[in-house]
Structure 1
């Protein structure tokens, strides 16, 4: 599978009639702290998206505020998932067409098997705007939360909201 691209994201959003978003171009950001520094002063919750693997090649995407720590035990208790850990880079490439450090819901465009369960932490779903790397870490997209959920529905993913 080839890597997902920013152009792929722009084309998908356009095809789904989602045009009201902002993109900030910046140098490559390898951490959420770097990305946050590049987009300082702009409105939108800063997110982190984690790609996780559980028992028997079950895959999960967890989206939450980038300042909040991930509690793996709580996640497993809430979802019933077993033996969950960060997915290895080869699984990230295979399932989402992404490299480490660039994980976002837009990588789901490449998940043809639709075998990734998507979870949002409830703390961010009421925020009007969320921020992500659109499959490349040299851009940050500011997208309305409603439009993000519309995008996910268009590509046949039904995220669950959990209280991490």
Structure 2
């Protein structure tokens, strides 16, 4: 089954409603936003981070218009150094190429060793949008259902002020 098919299967299994928009490949959040203009839901960006020694991994999800404060992330995680994870780490941990990182990539993380953080600001929104492990679709899911999805695949998450 393809990477999107796994997402669709899991959401249907959990009886989570979702809306999918098909579009040409989107390589940036700006590009993706242009394909989904006018549809209700916060546009997210998901960043896959690691510590200096690549012994801890973090998925940070926030509004795509917001800039990540790396000092705050270091403070929250207790790390002295934190950086964007490499393409190889992304493939190894979530089986995803660059440009499609999202909460749905956690379906592929068998080790369950990625810590998940949501910016508090977006958790107040009714719906969120993500690439569902492919950059030719954008999926909209109710925020409460994203948390239900995470619980169903045994991932804890933290809501933080970034």
TM-score band, normalised by shorter chain: over 0.9
Look up the SS of the partner of 1:56 in the other structure: coil
* Cα distance in 1 for residues equivalent to 2:126 and 2:3: 25
Q: Which moved more, 1:33-42 or 1:75-84?
A: 75-84
Q: Is residue 25 of structure 1 aligned with residue 22 of structure 2?
A: yes
Look up the SS of the partner of 1:36 in the other structure: helix
Gapped regions of structure 2 (runs ≥ 5): none
Contact 2:59 2:115 (C-alpha < 8 Å) held by counterparts: yes
Q: Cα distance, 1:81 vs. partner?
A: 2.4
Q: Is residue 56 of structure 1 aligned with residue 74 of structure 2?
A: no
Aligned length: 161
Q: Supply the RMSD in Å over aligned alpha carbons.
A: 1.2
State the match for 1:116 in structure 2. 114
Q: How does 1:76-155 map to 2 (within 5 A)?
A: 76-155=74-153
State the match for 1:43 in structure 2. 40
- Return the TM-score normalized by structure 1: 0.95
Q: Which stretches of structure 1, 4 residues or longer, exceed 6 Å deviation after superposition?
A: none
* Cα distance in 2 for residues equivalent to 1:22 and 1:109: 19
Look up the SS of the partner of 1:141 in the other structure: strand
1:79-120 C-alpha deviation (Å, 9 max, x unpaired): 212311000000000000100010000000000000000000
Contact 2:52 2:83 (C-alpha < 8 Å) held by counterparts: no
Contact 2:47 2:61 (C-alpha < 8 Å) held by counterparts: yes
1:104-147 C-alpha deviation (Å, 9 max, x unpaired): 00000000000000000000001000000000000000000000
Q: How does 1:64-79 map to 2 (within 5 A)?
A: 64-79=62-77
* Cα distance in 2 for residues equivalent to 1:134 and 1:9: 6
Look up the SS of the partner of 2:61 in the other structure: strand
